[in-house]
Amino acid sequence: MVSSEQQKCVVFPLCGKTLDMKAVLDLGHRVIGIEGCQTGVEAFFNENNIPFEIEKDESNQCQIYKVDKK
């Protein structure tokens, strides 16, 4: 784990269900994945046993998958 001062935010465009996101998350960094296919996003969370919530954006144009990391 990294301290809050060392924590980075890493963006993965067209992320699909890449294992790189899980590796970066496990190191203690924040991860933002951008994907157009809902199937890949849900597969990533389900295959890695990561509970998530889905929110709609203000203009209802996309879904936001969020993980509560405390």
Per-domain boundaries in the chain: 9-66
Measured CA to CA, the distance from residue 61 to residue 20 in angstroms comes to 27
| Confidence at 3, pLDDT banded by 50, 70, 90 | confident
Cα end-to-end distance, the chain, whole Å = 13
For residue 27, count other CB atoms closer than 10 A to its CB: 14
Position 35 scores a pLDDT of 95
Residue 4 has pLDDT above 90, yes or no: no
- Tell me the pLDDT tens digit for each residue of 7-57: 999 999 999 999 999 999 999 999 999 999 999 999 999 999 999 999 998
3-state secondary structure of 5: coil
pTM above 0.85, yes or no: no
